Copies of this chain bind each other. A is one copy, B any other.
Amino acid sequence: MKIVLFTLSEALADTWRAALGAERCWRVADTATLAAGLQPGQTVLVDLAMPGVDAADWPVLCARARVVALSSVPDNAEGVAWLGRGAAGYAHAYSTEDVLRQVVATVEGGASWVGRELLAQLCRQLAGRLPAGDGAWRDKVTAREAEVVAALRRGLSNKEIARELEIAERTVKAHLSHLFEKFGVEDRLQLLIKLG
């Protein structure tokens, strides 16, 4: 699956291509093309310098794909805005080739790429108010069911969940049916409402 380069700047696109390999990259410069051609789980590098790019418009795309926000003027508040919407990474747009490759490898591995300072800031500000007893329902679901719930929270369809977990769509339906019964609901929407 190709890496999407979402930028208007030819220079930036060339830099990224040099780091990641031109054959792995697919340059896109407008939102319509991106939305049309985007595959679930695909990696997207977004140039935050592009006009009209705003974190508030991206939560759904961030849920479907691995979106890496790249800013030429990194700012912790901006990073928090993007990562809070589900972006998979936040880094300097003109990072070295090594760092860019590291970033892509990291998000393709399913984790997030965060600079040390940014994460440190998050942790400092969070220190003290950690308890957050949100996971009571997790004791009632199996590991596999929890993965399905996580995918569900991102708005994925059964087919997309199946692709992501590498199982048949039928199996996804089986997990969902079990979840519905466990929590006494009758569809995916009610399940998410119930789980909070």
Which residues of A are at the interface with B, using a C-beta cutoff of 8 A?
35, 56-57, 59-60, 63, 66, 73, 75-77, 80-81, 83-86, 88, 91, 98-99, 102-103, 105-106, 109-120, 122-127, 129-136, 138, 143, 150, 152-155, 184-185, 187-190, 192-194, 196
Measured between beta carbons, the chain B residues less than 8 angstroms from A122 are 83, 122-123, 126
The count of identical subunits is 2
Please give me the residue from chain B that is nearest to A109 by CB atom: B102
- With contact pairs A85-B130, A106-B113, A184-B60 given, residues A155 and B193 touching in the complex (Cβ less than 8 Å): yes
- With contact pairs A60-B185, A155-B190, A187-B155 given, residues A115 and B126 touching in the complex (Cβ less than 8 Å): no
On whether the beta carbons of A138 and B60 are closer than 8 Å, the reply is no
On whether the beta carbons of B116 and A81 are closer than 8 Å, the reply is no
Please give me the residue from chain B that is nearest to A118 by CB atom: B112
Please give me the residue from chain B that is nearest to A82 by CB atom: B123
- With contact pairs A59-B194, A83-B119 given, residues A75 and B111 touching in the complex (Cβ less than 8 Å): no
Q: How far is the CA of A109 from the CA of B102 in the complex (A)?
A: 7
What are 22 residue pairs bridging A and B, where the CB atoms are less than 8 Å apart in the complex?
A56-B131, A56-B136, A59-B196, A60-B185, A60-B194, A75-B135, A77-B133, A77-B135, A80-B127, A83-B120, A83-B123, A84-B124, A84-B130, A85-B120, A85-B130, A110-B116, A111-B114, A112-B115, A114-B114, A114-B119, A155-B189, A189-B189
On whether the beta carbons of B63 and A123 are closer than 8 Å, the reply is no
On whether the beta carbons of B106 and A111 are closer than 8 Å, the reply is yes
